[in-house]
Amino acid sequence: MSIASRRTKFRKVNVAAIASLFLVILAGGVVRSSGSGMGCPDWPKCFGRYIPPTDASQLPKDYKEKYIGRRVKKNTHFAKLLDALGYNQLADRIRRDRSVLLVEDFNAANTWTEYVNRLVGVVAGFLLIAAVVYSFSYRGAENTIPLLSVVNLVLIGVQGWLGSVVVSTNLTSWIVTVHMLLALAILAIAIYTYYLAKNFDRNRGGIAGGLFFLGILSLVVSIIQIVAGTNLREEIDAVSAHSEGLRNDWVSEVGNALSDHRNIAIAVVLINVALFILVRKNYNRHSLQQQLMSLTFLLIMLQIVTGIIMSYWMLPAFAQAAHITLASLVFGAQFYLLLNLTKQGTLQGRAA
């Protein structure tokens, strides 16, 4: 296979990997919103099987005791890592957490939801492996592509391990946030390597000054919004665990976390309105930049709709999964737009 063919393969595989990463985030959102994280208490098998059981009669004997032991062992190892990193109080809290000794009764729907989530993650992993293989066609010409492709493959492995820790430690707050931020980092690297490969033999030009700065600001505020949303969800989880009220009262009991999330959402909209105006001013309506900006704005509006649905309709699971997936899509569109905010593109837009 020629170098040109391998480079074409890399771009195609990378696009597929990016799509699979969005699906991983969607699947993770479904698992989180449905409470299916411990649907498969072991890994890589599920209840000791490659194909999950559909009935309690298919479960291994004494499976609860077996998996409690594994869970405690994993948490102990993680607590030692936290001690080494200086997080002694968190490590002690994880060691003292007796809730890990409780194993949920078998639920076929939760089991298969978690199993599908794992399958999607495996597909993403294989696509990233293929991306690494084809990325070396750029070695010596654009070394950033193979380097970042290898880094991303390592990160997806770390992400899988961290996901198991998130579940094993009962959704320890900051670990959930790190898990989400790492997912965005993996997504950003995949998008960046695709951008480099697509524009490998083109003069990309310099950055477009104020436009680029506003693009960075919009991306940073969106990341802050995602972190705030993750914190809000953690607050809701805490309320639901101790509240005797109805499900639709949980949102009203979280306090400042909800108002902070809404205030940042307003900032996201205002910044993107300003960016939308500048993009329309500097690029023609058929440009990639305008298309990406329009897509970003549409995704933001849809995300707001799902947020309203969660606030006023008792946090339906489908809205929770859609909300986090839309947030990642907004991030991806904003990041790719940022990469394409070049002076050369601006001049082309004005000339058209």
Query: Each residue of 41-59: pLDDT tens digit?
Result: 777 788 888 899 998 888 8
Q: Distance (Å, rounded) from C-alpha 152 to C-alpha 129? A: 9
Predicted TM-score (pTM) of this structure: 0.86
Q: Distance (Å, rounded) from C-alpha 130 to C-alpha 137? A: 12
Task: Transcribe 104-159 into DSSP letters.
Answer: PPP-HHHHHHHHHHHHHHHHHHHHHHHHHHHHGGGTTT-THHHHHHHHHHHHHHHH
101: tokens are: 């000794």
| C-beta of residue 31 within 8 angstroms of C-beta of residue 37 | yes
pLDDT-derived band at 218 (thresholds 50, 70, 90) equals very high
- The per-residue pLDDT for range 46-96, each reduced to its tens digit, is 888 889 999 888 888 877 777 787 778 888 888 888 888 887 887 887 888
Cβ neighbourhood burial of 7 (10 Å; 0-12, 13-18, 19+): buried
Across the strands, what pairs with 279?
A: none
- The per-residue pLDDT for range 194-208, each reduced to its tens digit, is 999 998 877 655 666
Range 172-181 average pLDDT: 78
At residue 118, does pLDDT exceed 80?
yes
What end-to-end distance do the CA atoms of the chain give, in Å? Answer: 38
- The per-residue pLDDT for range 258-314, each reduced to its tens digit, is 778 888 999 999 999 999 999 988 888 888 999 999 999 999 999 999 988 887 777
Q: Distance (Å, rounded) from C-alpha 33 to C-alpha 324? A: 10
Q: Distance (Å, rounded) from C-alpha 243 to C-alpha 235? A: 12
pLDDT at 197: 93
